Amino acid sequence: MMRSDLLSYAGSYEEPHFLESCTLCSKPLGHNSDIYMYRGNTPFCSQECRQEQIECDEAKERRWKIASSKKTKSTETTKKSTTVQTGTLVASN
């Protein structure tokens, strides 16, 4: 019986400890092996897995910034097209 089965069978389920497996590849982390951490509490089994996650996060952040800047430009364009000028009009015969 697996550990998770025992926990479920006992009537309560506990989440596995966050240092039990690599966040990216789910490889079990050994008790006497190096653990590579990222952003505080995200464990990885190797420098390669950690670097892959860093690159994914950076790409996601770049896409978010591009999308955000497009929204800002779109909003500015909308504001420009709805500009109303006020003033006094004088007409004479």
Q: Which residues contact 69 (CB under 8 A, 6 or more apart)?
A: none
Cα separation, 44 vs 77, whole angstroms: 45
Cα separation, 57 vs 23, whole angstroms: 13
Q: CB burial class (10 A; 0-12, 13-18, 19+) of residue 50?
A: buried
Reduced to 3 states, what is the DSSP secondary structure of residue 46?
coil
Please name which of 32, 38, 1 lies closest in space to residue 18, comparing C-alpha atoms.
38
What is the pTM assigned to this prediction? 0.56
What does the pLDDT look like over 55-90, one tens digit per residue? Answer: 999 999 999 988 888 776 665 555 555 566 676 766
What does the pLDDT look like over 3-57, one tens digit per residue? Answer: 444 444 555 666 667 789 999 999 999 888 899 999 988 999 999 999 999 999 9
Domain ranges of the chain: 19-65
pLDDT of 21 reads 94
pLDDT of 2 reads 47
